[in-house]
C-alpha cells in the first residue's frame, strides 16, 4: 500500500502531510460551526435513529468531504452524516459536530473530530473545540498536543495516578451504561475511585490526555465518536481500547485510561 505522500504510510513525512491536512480541515470546520453556534435560525431535524442533526453538522461534513475529494482522491471517507465511500485502507473518519445535542442547546461542549485510519488503525487524530478555544491533535510516533487559546501548543502527558482509589473517572452517561447492562458495574467502579463525573463527549478524552482525568469509558459509540482519541490518548502515554480491553474502535464501547489503571478498570468492568 502506498500513501499519498510516500511509500511507507507511517513514515514521518507521510504522517506530517496528513496531519497538516487534518488541521486545515479543522480550521474550515471551526469557521463554519462557530458561525452557526447559538444562531437564532439554526435548522434542526431528526435522523432515522431519532438523534438530532443541524445545518451546521451537514455543512461541516460537506466542506470536509469536498477538500478530501480534491486533495486525497484515493482515500476513503467514513462520516457520521453521509456514510462510507471509497477505500478502507486509508480512510478519513469524520464527526462534523460531536455533541450535537450540546451544540443545539448552546452548550459549548462540542467538537469536530477528524481522524485518518490506515488498515483500520487510527494514525492521525484532531479534535477541535472552538467554543472552548481548544484543539487536541496527534499522529503516531510524534506525540499528542494541545493548543489552548492564545498559548503556544504544548505536548500532552497523561497522569501518573496508579491506584483506582486516587483516580478521577468520567463515565459520560448513566443511560448509556444502563442500556448496555453495565449500570451495576458503573456504580461499583464509582465506589472504587476517588471522584466520578460525567464531563461528556470530546472534552472527557481531552481532559484525560491533559492528565486531568484518569479514566474515561462509554458505550453506544461509533467509530467517528472516538477515532481521533485512539491516537491522542495513546500518544499522550495512555491506553485506548473497548471496554473489554480489545484493541478496536468498532466495538461500540470505549475505555481510555492513563495506562497504569487500564488492567484494573478492565477487570472491574468484566466481573
Q: Which three cell numbers stand for residue 69?
A: 475529494
Q: What is the mean pLDDT of the chain?
A: 94
* pLDDT tens, residue by residue, 142-155: 999 999 987 899 99
The pTM of this model reads 0.93
Ranking 17-26, 41-50, 153-162, 211-220 by mean pLDDT, the lowest is 41-50
pLDDT, residue 8, reads 53
Band of the pLDDT at 257, cuts 50, 70, 90? very high
Instruction: Give yes or no for residue 6 having a pLDDT over 50.
Output: no
Total Cβ atoms within 10 A of residue 51: 10
pLDDT, residue 2, reads 35
* pLDDT tens, residue by residue, 211-225: 999 999 999 999 999
pLDDT, residue 48, reads 81
Total Cβ atoms within 10 A of residue 198: 14
Ranking 5-9, 34-38, 102-106, 172-176 by mean pLDDT, the lowest is 5-9
Phi, psi of 229 (to 5 degrees): -75, -20
The sign of the torsion formed by the CA atoms of 35, 77, 23, 234 equals positive
Instruction: Give yes or no for residue 88 having a pLDDT over 50.
Output: yes
Residue with cell 481510555: 256
Q: Which three cell numbers stand for residue 138?
A: 496527534
Helix (H, G, I), strand (E, B) or coil at 204: helix
- Give the rounded distance of the alpha carbon of 90 from its chain centre: 18
pLDDT, residue 50, reads 75
Instruction: Give yes or no for residue 65 having a pLDDT over 90.
Output: yes
All residues at 6 or more sequence positions from 49 whose CB lies less than 8 Å from its CB, including other chains: none
The sign of the torsion formed by the CA atoms of 78, 52, 257, 140 equals positive
Average pLDDT over residues 179-193: 97
Instruction: Give yes or no for residue 3 having a pLDDT over 60.
Output: no
Instruction: Give yes or no for residue 10 having a pLDDT over 80.
Output: no
Helix (H, G, I), strand (E, B) or coil at 88: coil
* pLDDT tens, residue by residue, 107-124: 999 999 999 999 999 999
- Output the 3-class SS for 9-65: CCCHHHHHHHHHHHHHHHHHHHHHHHHHCCCCCCCEEECCCCCEEEHHHHHHHHHHH
Amino acid at each position: 500500500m502506498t500513501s499519498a505522500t510516500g511509500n511507507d504510510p507511517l513514515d514521518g513525512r507521510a504522517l506530517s502531510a496528513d496531519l497538516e491536512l487534518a488541521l486545515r480541515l479543522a480550521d474550515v470546520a471551526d469557521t463554519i460551526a462557530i458561525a452557526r453556534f447559538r444562531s437564532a435560525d439554526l435548522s434542526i431535524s431528526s435522523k432515522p435513529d431519532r438523534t438530532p442533526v443541524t445545518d451546521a453538522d451537514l455543512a461541516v461534513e460537506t466542506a470536509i468531504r469536498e477538500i478530501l475529494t480534491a486533495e486525497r482522491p484515493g482515500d476513503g471517507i467514513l462520516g457520521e452524516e453521509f456514510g462510507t465511500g471509497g477505500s478502507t485502507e486509508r480512510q478519513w473518519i469524520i464527526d462534523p459536530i460531536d455533541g450535537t445535542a450540546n451544540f443545539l442547546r448552546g452548550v459549548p461542549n462540542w467538537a469536530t473530530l477528524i481522524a485518518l485510519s490506515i488498515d483500520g488503525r487510527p494514525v492521525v487524530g484532531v479534535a477541535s473545540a472552538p467554543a472552548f478555544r481548544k484543539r487536541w491533535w496527534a499522529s503516531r510516533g510524534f506525540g499528542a498536543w494541545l493548543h489552548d487559546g492564545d498559548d503556544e501548543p504544548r505536548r500532552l502527558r497523561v497522569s501518573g495516578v496508579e491506584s483506582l482509589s486516587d483516580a478521577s473517572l468520567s463515565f459520560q452517561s448513566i443511560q448509556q451504561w444502563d442500556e448496555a447492562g453495565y449500570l451495576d458495574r458503573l456504580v461499583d467502579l464509582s465506589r472504587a475511585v476517588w471522584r466520578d463525573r460525567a464531563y461528556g463527549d470530546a472534552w472527557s478524552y481531552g481532559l484525560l490526555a491533559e492528565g486531568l482525568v484518569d479514566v474515561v469509558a462509554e458505550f453506544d459509540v461509533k467509530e467517528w465518536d472516538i477515532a481521533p482519541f485512539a491516537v491522542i490518548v495513546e500518544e499522550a502515554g495512555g491506553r485506548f481500547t473497548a471496554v473489554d480491553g480489545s484493541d478496536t474502535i468498532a466495538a461500540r464501547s470505549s475505555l481510555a485510561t492513563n495506562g497504569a489503571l487500564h488492567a484494573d478498570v478492565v477487570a472491574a468492568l468484566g466481573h
